[in-house]
Structure 1
């Protein structure tokens, strides 16, 4: 009889520990320590979403940083920008082909080809003159070019690609 009671107690203990483990697994995950600033969506040929990545400012700042000083048509005098080359961001996101669209909080959307995304070209800036940018100041992310470094960056098409308040990237494959 004692043997039966011990087996019964063991079975009950194992049953309840399984319920407890299942309960623990269904608890919500803790909120990220930083809010997301950039949503990256991957689409197939039929425009169906196949995956997405949500990046925080810490994720972006963990990538190799670049900086340059240039003038812009939206500001007065030289401005210093710090951020990550779009080419490095695409490498991080494992994007090697496809069409890449960038859109802003106000739904303004542009396309930049992978061929245009080279070091020394477009940068995803997160600091402007050493200060993180707020949405009121074209932030938190602004695609900028080293406009003064080459005349090819001083065209209406490049200025149109200089999207601020960037919050979404769509990669169509």
Structure 2
């Protein structure tokens, strides 16, 4: 019986429960939910994930802006998400369908700050999907711009 116990998979990457206000809810087929069958993240949990800075121009800002936040793929890996696309939804219910492959092909972040200032709701926060437009100019097109959801509060992995 002890041998059987030792062969069980050990999930060291299980998510803790958020201690602060929930900023992001992730749903779908998740290996590591922390609230029923969903994964809830507060600011500290998002800050604990692999972070990335993206210095880029966007159609919504004047000049280059340094956006900072967790890599999208770090969020997917933290929840053990399984799917081919995501429905990313904003606080105002705007939603865009984004291929999961975007998060692995590009350094897409869920920006939590711009030029070292936390993104507030009035500043397109608390989370803003940012693609590295200056690093890959081909991303500056209507399809990708429509995937650049701001005021993100939910990701449904499908």
Is this a same-fold pair by TM over 0.5? yes
For 2:101 and 2:45, the matched residues in 1 are separated by 24
Which of 56, 78, 87 is the aligned partner of 1:101?
A: 87
The match for 1:126 is 112
**Alpha-carbon displacement from aligned partner over 1:34-78 (angstroms, at most 9, x marks no partner):** 11111112269xxxxx81111101111100111021111001011
TM-score, structure 1 as length reference: 0.73
Q: Deviations over 1:59-115 (max 9, x none)?
A: 111001110211110010110001111111111110132431100001000111121
Uncovered stretches (5+) of structure 1, i.e. residues with no partner: 1-31, 45-49
Tell me the C-alpha RMSD between the 2 structures.
2.0
Q: Which runs of 5+ in 2 are unaligned?
A: 1-17, 31-35
| Residue 42 (str. 1) matches residue 28 (str. 2) | yes
TM-score when scaled to structure 2? 0.80
Partner of 2:70: 84
Q: What is the CA deviation profile of residues 100-136 of structure 1, one whole-angstrom value per residue up to 9, with x for unaligned ones?
A: 1100001000111121112643211111110111101
CA distance, structure 2, for counterparts of residue 118 and residue 99 of structure 1: 12
Of residues 109, 117, 137 in structure 1, which corresponds to 2:123? 137
Counterpart in the other structure of 2:38? 52
Whether 1:115 and 2:89 are equivalent positions in the alignment is no
| Contact residue 85 and residue 118 of structure 1 kept, 8 A | no
Q: How many residues align?
A: 137
Q: Per residue, is there more helix in 1 or in 2?
A: 1
Detail structure 1 runs of 4+ shifted over 3 Å in the superposition. none
Larger Rg: 1
- Report if aligned partners of 1:85, 1:120 keep a CA contact under 8 Å in 2: no
